[in-house]
Amino acid sequence: MVSVQGATLTGASLTGALQTNMLPAAVLLTAALLTCGCASPEARRQGAFARADAALAAGDANRAAAILGAQLAYDPRDVSTAGRLAALWLDEGRPLDAVAALEAVPADTDPGPEVRALMARARLGAGQGKRAAALFAQLDGRFGVEPQELDRLLELLACRPETWPPKPPATWTRRLLDHQLRAGCLDAAVELWRRGLPADAPPSGGPAPEALLDRLLRRLVLAGEVELLLRLPERGAPPETPWKLLARHHLLLQRGAEGEAKRVEDRFLDRFPDHPQRFRVLLVSARREIRAGRFGAGLERAQEAAALEPSRVGPLIEQALALDGLGRPREADRVLEQALALEPNSPALQRLTDPRRKGGSAAGRIELRFQTAEE
């Protein structure tokens, strides 16, 4: 007599059930072996698998899990059953239960790569990024990891440097930096870059280092992250890209190295005439030249910036400053009228004309315009 899928069957009823196709043959065969007491450990395991499969086919995942759990309790070293149970829980969206099933196996039992991969997936799904990363790193070094699984892991780890393995595999680092840039985790991206990206990672290891660096510099420059730029190490003398020059220009201005900043500006403007940041560089250059008393050079830069963005008042204010400095106040007034036409309700622009109406020195007018231009 044996209980199968909730029914108590005798030897005679087993035969009848088989003849009438009431139960799957594998289930009935296992039940028959169990009734005679001659089932081997492997037969017992296969019987549990067959009954669990039948429960799953009937849509009863909890029943299937109970069957596998009972088999695992009978033989805690049964790695195959632990893996089957963990896979079931992962399919059901219960990664913590999958972790618990695999942790029930004694620590001195070698689970093999497939079960290790299940544990890594379970820990990843449970949000245990650091422990998942350690497992994935072991697997990747010996057996490889599915790209989709790796991307899920790196997405989880991207903004959390404390979860990274001490030495991420070479195939990870570029892809990890790619995920960080997508997520906007600039602190973490700079930290990873400081650790070094392998130049010889295989093609599947992600974008080339130079492309990643350019993306990182772009994000840092546009976000005005001076402190992070200062932490970013320079390696060798790589080719000058627009964003490398812009990052260097940004840092030089912050350090007050006006002369070197001007040389970087000139190189950028000469080499990259169509870059989207050209307007910003021209305007910064115009302001620096005018404040240094080089009104002619500042006027040229301001006029070029105005030609690029005719609807912006910034370049017009700089032109007025330069023209005032050159002793051409009437031309400065005409340029200010253009700016007022663009923004007629701007108190700052209206104040620019007041000192001229009231008289005053050219130096005083320029100083007021400097203050207004900074607003």
Q: For residue 11, what pLDDT is reported? A: 41
Whether the CA torsion 37, 42, 45, 49 is positive or negative: it is negative
| Percent of the chain whose pLDDT exceeds 90 | 11
| Percent of the chain whose pLDDT exceeds 70 | 71
For residue 152, pLDDT beyond 50: yes
Q: d(Cα 43, Cα 29) in Å, to the nearest integer?
A: 10
Cβ atoms 154, 172 nearer than 8 A: yes
Q: For residue 368, what pLDDT is reported? A: 54
Q: For residue 298, what pLDDT is reported? A: 93
For residue 112, pLDDT beyond 50: yes
Cβ atoms 64, 88 nearer than 8 A: yes
Q: d(Cα 317, Cα 322) in Å, to the nearest integer?
A: 9
Which residue shows structure tokens 């959390």? 160
**pTM greater than the 0.85 cutoff:** no
Cβ atoms 301, 282 nearer than 8 A: yes
The single-letter DSSP state of residue 343 is S
Split at pLDDT 50, 70, 90, the class of 27 is very low
